[in-house]
Amino acid sequence: MKLIDQIDIKQLTNSYLFANTPMYLYRHFRRNPSIKELAENDSTQKLAKEYNKLTSKKTKPINDIVIAYSILIAITFLEYQQALTAFGTVDLSKLDWGNDIKDIYVSKTKITNIFSLAVEPRISLVKKTKSDSSTSKLLLNIP
């Protein structure tokens, strides 16, 4: 299936034609459900290959430009490191706002790192002496 058949080309073309800033384009393309579906249904390699093919032409029809921007925005739905790698496989300078799209993505993405530590806590029950009191304390001892 062609990429043009997978995206809402009419709505995205309208957004592209009204866009006066890269941020406007970024926001409106990301809101379009067909862009997220594009990211979910196609491999990064396929998207990058198609982007490079579309942007290599000297004269680009409006549909090709809209599809190329759709691919860039679809990349922003990938995991952060994967998206940065994907941005590195395409020539962002081939579109007027290609580098801006990447910069917006990098500045808006909150990077979270989750570390998992496999530590078994040692729990010991320490009884106080009669002089302290007759109650017990539960101590958590992590090595």
Locate tokens 């290599």: which residue? 56
Q: What is the pLDDT of residue 2?
A: 77
Q: What is the pLDDT of residue 112?
A: 67
- Residue 140 falls inside a structural domain: no
Q: Helix, strand or coil for residue 81?
A: helix
- Residue 22 falls inside a structural domain: yes
Question: What pTM value is reported for the model?
Answer: 0.76
- Residue 21 falls inside a structural domain: yes
Residues (pLDDT < 70) of the chain are 1, 112-117, 121-143
The percent of residues above 70 in pLDDT, for the chain, comes to: 78
- Residue 52 falls inside a structural domain: yes
- Residue 98 falls inside a structural domain: yes
User: What's the domain count of the chain?
Assistant: 1
Q: What is the pLDDT of residue 35?
A: 94
- Residue 127 falls inside a structural domain: no
Total residue length of the chain: 143
Domain containing residue 102: 3-108
Q: 3 CB contacts (<8 Å, ≥6 apart)?
A: 38, 42, 50, 67, 70, 71
- Residue 132 falls inside a structural domain: no
